[in-house]
Amino acid sequence: MHLHRIALAVAIAFPVSLPIVVLAQGVATEAQLQSVQISSARAPLDPNLPSSTASRTAEQLREQTIYNPEDIAVNLPSTTIRKRYFGDRNANVGGRSYGTLQPGRALVYLDGYLISNFLGRFDAPRWNMVNVEAIDRIDALYGPFSAIYPGNSIGTTLIVSERKPKGPGGIGQHQAQPAGFQ
């Protein structure tokens, strides 16, 4: 009798505002589900970006000389890479509104992971994480994109995408030595 009074009090307090919950149990069968195959190309960038962008594909990158991973961004417009010598581990990124002595204003992403290094004052992105032969494309976003790509970029954001391997393979590379060079 006591439960009926509580139920009546709840029904009076909340007359129609509570949704009716119905639980259903499915029928177990031995049937196998159809397999689903998903295949698509990764979209390079959001088509509704609020500012200008520049991109280079793998075919365009093959036309330029690339010794280190930071060389992929050298020919992007309004982008400067401070590479002092071959193998420089402190190749900072500079952009339109800041120089290479302010590396915290640029972000570098590799397949969606932030490789910019903010631990020191003048630390460059972790370029050694990028495999030059596997680069599919590089996109540069100019302007503040801290809402789209987290990390508080107030300058250039570089997005490097690597291709996915389709099976075992190998890469060979040969670079000719210039005439008269010893």
| Mean pLDDT, rounded, of the chain | 78
Q: What is the largest CA-CA distance in the chain?
A: 105
- In the chain, domain spans: 53-162
CA dist 80 and 97 (Å) reads 11
Kindly state the tokens that stand for 53: 């962008």
Query: What is the pLDDT at residue 8?
Result: 67
CA dist 143 and 98 (Å) reads 11
- Using pLDDT thresholds of 50, 70 and 90, give the confidence band for residue 26: low
Query: What is the pLDDT at residue 35?
Result: 84
For residues 158-167, average pLDDT = 88
CA dist 167 and 50 (Å) reads 38
Q: Pick from 104, 120, 93, 119: which is nearest to 154 by CA?
A: 104
Residues 168-181 pLDDT 10s = 888 776 766 666 65
For residues 49-72, average pLDDT = 85
Q: Is the pLDDT of residue 25 over 90?
A: no
For residues 43-55, average pLDDT = 74
DSSP letters along 113-130, please?
EE----SSSSPPP-GGG-
- Using pLDDT thresholds of 50, 70 and 90, give the confidence band for residue 74: confident
CATH superfamily label, 53-162: TonB-dependent receptor, plug domain (2.170.130.10)
Residues 96-151 pLDDT 10s = 778 787 777 888 999 988 898 888 777 888 888 998 888 999 998 887 765 667 66
